[in-house]
Amino acid sequence: RPLVKIVMSTPKRTDTAIADDTINVSPSTANGSVSVPGSKSISNRVLLLAALGKGQCKVSGLLHSDDTNVMLIALEKMGVKYKWDSEKKEVLTINGSGGKLYLPKSELYMKNAGTATRFLTTAVNLIEEKGEVTITGNERMQKRPIQDLVDALNKSGTDIKCKLGTGCPPLVSKTSGNGWSGGDITLAANVSSQYVSSILISAPFAKTAVKLTLDGKGQGICSRPYIDITTDLLKKFKIEVTEPSANVFAVKNSPFDNPASWLIEGDASSASYPLAFAAITGGKVTVQNVGKGSIQGDSKFCYLLEKMGCTVSQTETTTTVEGPKDFKNGLQAIKSDVDMDSMTDLFMTLAAVAAVSVGTTRIVNIANQRVKECNRIEATVLELKKFGVTCKELATGIEIVGDPNLRNRDESKTVYIDPRDDHRLAMSFAVLAAAVPGVTIQEKHCVNKTYPTFWKHSKEHLGVNVEEPSVTKKQRT
């Protein structure tokens, strides 16, 4: 019989497929001004608060992104009505439910939206119908921890289980038909501040007033500024919330009326990238909708850039950064350990600037970044090493030995950045690429999570060299 040879292999991705989702960023001088999208942190908090309150609320400045879209879809599945003013989607009118949510007919699929997933973990228990609600997400979301929140809620009368027994989504919440009991709750708060905000936002609709005690497990309370954003918004929605003693919150169980309108301020996390472009390229950039009046802790990131040699100014609503023109000695590493506990999501932006600075930068108290969209500390180290940067992981952070000579590397030796579908990795390495030649960033779409117009803004508003790669017939696996 003739022999038949069967070869099975993984299909190759052509350059066409790769080019569709990659982008080249090259050395530039960033100058200009930009308004960043609405704050993700505030957007999802306001969406849930307005959905639970009584009456209409017209929300403007809302972030248009994957994270807010999945929140809106989930709220709609639970009976919340809303309507956009026009095709431009500039104003969203939400008809508050007065705390009356209904059993969704299908699972709540949250993609990789950690904020929305955790906020709804408490909110679904307000449903006064007997049944089950499943909250799930994509592969990465199913690896992000939520057990501490589940344990705290179950001690207050809920019946929630992590379906796979991993302490992560998917979650199945059995609703008793009687709503959520509330009462005295102790919560481990050393992993994510989102657990805290989840309970606080739904607390006004618990059957008994909520007294929430945070346990830092000897490691401190994680990302306290994000908890402060939540309590600030609760007060502005006329919800009675107090902190009778350190890390203990009391929320009155009383329905509230929605404000007639709400304007969401710009996203301070997103603002870090235009400002870092200025720092690393010796340009001057103004972010027009984030200033010292912001309630976001990330709005103070600019002062880290100032410590590295930049000129910084803020008004109530704007922030301007001008980077040093001397690329050899202008950017200096911050000499002492940089405690970024109050702005952990921005350590990668700082790491990008540190990579071309003079000296060693040590960033600490960012351990929670290991359980975000990816293990961000590990990923940052691996991607920086592609450039030859000397860096390493620390127990709670990262150490980077800066090298201004990176600006002179051989651009023909292309570095391909793998963001691991993480928006913040992609944008942070775009900052580095604006100073270092020969960089292609893969998965350009991942910025849609928080800053869908990032590539356009960088090119058209700031003058950063951003180009779609040319397509050839050559194939690369």
Q: How many residues can be counted in the chain?
A: 477
CB 356 within 8 A of CB 324: no
Helix (H) or strand (E) holding 195: helix 193-202
Closest of 59, 56, 107 to residue 81, by C-alpha? 56
The dihedrals phi and psi of 457, each to the nearest 5 degrees, come to: -60, -45
Per-residue DSSP letter, 36 = P
The one catalytic residue among 144, 423, 444, 457 = 423
- Alpha carbon 405 to chain centroid distance? 31
> Would residue 449 show up in a list of annotated catalytic residues for this protein?
yes
Compute the CA torsion angle 409, 415, 421, 427 (nearest 10 deg).
Answer: 20
Helix (H, G, I), strand (E, B) or coil at 217: coil
**How are strands ordered across the β-sheet holding 439-442?**
415-417, 439-442, 22-26, 465-467
> Would residue 253 show up in a list of annotated catalytic residues for this protein?
no
The one catalytic residue among 44, 95, 112, 289 = 112
The one catalytic residue among 424, 443, 444, 457 = 424
- Residue 274: cis peptide before it, omega within 30 degrees of 0: no
Q: Which residues pair with 213 in a beta bridge?
A: 186, 248
The one catalytic residue among 66, 265, 341, 345 = 345
> Would residue 423 show up in a list of annotated catalytic residues for this protein?
yes
The one catalytic residue among 77, 376, 444, 449 = 449
> Would residue 64 show up in a list of annotated catalytic residues for this protein?
no
Sign of CA dihedral 229, 234, 236, 240: negative
The one catalytic residue among 66, 67, 403, 443 = 67
Tokens describing residue 83: 């309507």
Amino acid at 56: Q
> Would residue 345 show up in a list of annotated catalytic residues for this protein?
yes
CB 57 within 8 A of CB 96: yes
> Would residue 405 show up in a list of annotated catalytic residues for this protein?
no
Tokens describing residue 377: 């500390």
The one catalytic residue among 373, 399, 403, 443 = 373
> Would residue 445 show up in a list of annotated catalytic residues for this protein?
no
Question: Which residues are marked as active site?
Answer: 67, 112, 345, 373, 423-424, 449
